[in-house]
Amino acid sequence: MQRDLPTAHEMSTPASNVVDLASLRRSCASCTLQQLCLPSTVDAEDLARIDSMVKKRRPLRRGELLYRQGDPMQSLFVAREGAFKTVALSKEGESQILGFHIPGELLGFDALGSGEHQCDAEALGTAEVCEVPFEQLEEFAAQVPSLRRQLLRVIGRSMDRDQAHVEMLGRRHATERVALFLHSLSERYRALGRRPEQVDLPMGREDIGSYLGLAIETVSRTLGKLQEDGVISVHGRRVQITDCAALDRLVHGGDERRTDHG
C-alpha cells in the first residue's frame, strides 16, 4: 500500500542502532527544549509521567517521512534536532509546503480534524524527534489541568504560525515575503538560543519558493537583491543578517518604495 519511501515507523535496521542510545534516553527533564514544548508549570512528578510516554526516536535521514497524507493520527512529534517540512500534495501532483518545523516545534496536529494526516512530514536533513502517542497524551492531559492548558497552547501556537504564513502569502511583493520569511526564521532561532543574525536555511530554494508562493528563480534573485542592498549576505544556504534594522523595515514598513539605489 505504501509508496516508495518507508515511513520512520517501518524502519528499524539493526545497523542504525549503533547511534548513541544514551543520548536518546535523555529525559524531558533535562531537555533544553523543555520550555518550548512544555513551557507551563508542570511539576516533577507529572514530568516523569510525560517522560515515560515519550518514545525517543533514532535519527532520521534526509527525505524520511514521519507520516504521510492519509495516515491515521497516532502520535504527536516534537522536532528535537534538525528540521522538517510539511507538504500538502494535490491529486495532480502539485505540492504546497505548509510549514517548516525546527527544534522545539510540534508536528502532527494536521490530523486533529479528520483523524487522518492532511500532509506529509519530511525530514529536511538529519533529524531527530520525540514521539508522543496521542491517545496517552490526551488521557493524561484530562487528568492534569496544567497539561491540558498546555496542549491547547501548543496547538494555538501552531495555528499562530499558520496565520503568519497566510500573512506572508498575502504580501504582494516578493521582497516582503522573503524578508518576512527570514525574519520569522531568525526569531525562531533566537527562541532556541541561537544567534538570530545567523540564519542557516535547512531547506532548499525550491522549498522556500513553494512556501512563499514564488518561483525558485525569484527566491534566488530576491535574496541576491537583499544582499546587494546590504541587508543580508548569502552563501548558499548560509544567510547572515547584516542589517537587522533594514530587515525590520522591510517587514514592518512593508511597502517602502525606496529600494535604495537612487
Of the candidate residues 3, 25, 172, 258, the single one contacting DNA (CB under 7 A)? 172
Over the window 233 to 262, marking each residue x when it contacts DNA by CB under 7 A and - when it does not, the resulting string is -xxxx-------------------------
Of the candidate residues 9, 58, 148, 194, the single one contacting a second copy (CB under 8 A)? 148
Of the candidate residues 150, 158, 175, 184, the single one contacting DNA (CB under 7 A)? 175
Taken as a whole, the chain contains a residue count of 262
> Do the beta carbons of residue 167 and residue 160 sit within 8 Å?
no
> Do the beta carbons of residue 181 and residue 164 sit within 8 Å?
no
| Residue 224 binds which entry of DNA, a second copy, none, CB below 5-8 Å type-dependent | DNA
- CA–centroid distance for 17 within its chain: 26
| Residue 204 binds which entry of DNA, a second copy, none, CB below 5-8 Å type-dependent | DNA
> CB neighbours of 83 closer than 8 A, spacing ≥ 6?
100, 101, 102, 103, 123, 124, 125, 127, 202, 203
Which residue, 172 or 257, is less far from a second copy as judged by CB?
172
Of the candidate residues 43, 92, 245, 257, the single one contacting a second copy (CB under 8 A)? 92
Residue 72 interacting with a second copy (CB under 8 A): no
Provide the 10 A C-beta neighbour count for residue 154.
19
| Residue 147 binds which entry of DNA, a second copy, none, CB below 5-8 Å type-dependent | none
Residue 217 interacting with DNA (CB under 7 A): yes
> Do the beta carbons of residue 95 and residue 69 sit within 8 Å?
no
Residue 237 CA to residue 143 CA, distance in Å, equals 45
Residue 201 CA to residue 241 CA, distance in Å, equals 12
Residue 55 Rama label (left phi>0; alpha psi -120 to 50; beta): beta
Which three cell numbers mark 257? 518604495
Of the candidate residues 52, 206, 253, 259, the single one contacting a second copy (CB under 8 A)? 253
| Residue 53 binds which entry of DNA, a second copy, none, CB below 5-8 Å type-dependent | none
Of the candidate residues 135, 139, 160, 206, the single one contacting DNA (CB under 7 A)? 206
> Do the beta carbons of residue 106 and residue 80 sit within 8 Å?
no
Of the candidate residues 15, 90, 235, 261, the single one contacting a second copy (CB under 8 A)? 90
What amino acid is encoded at 159 in this protein?
M
Binding site for a second copy (CB under 8 A): 88, 90-92, 94, 96, 98, 109-114, 118-119, 138, 142, 145, 148-149, 152-153, 155-160, 162-163, 165-167, 169-170, 172, 210, 213, 252-255
Binding site for DNA (CB under 7 A): 172-175, 204-206, 213-224, 234-237
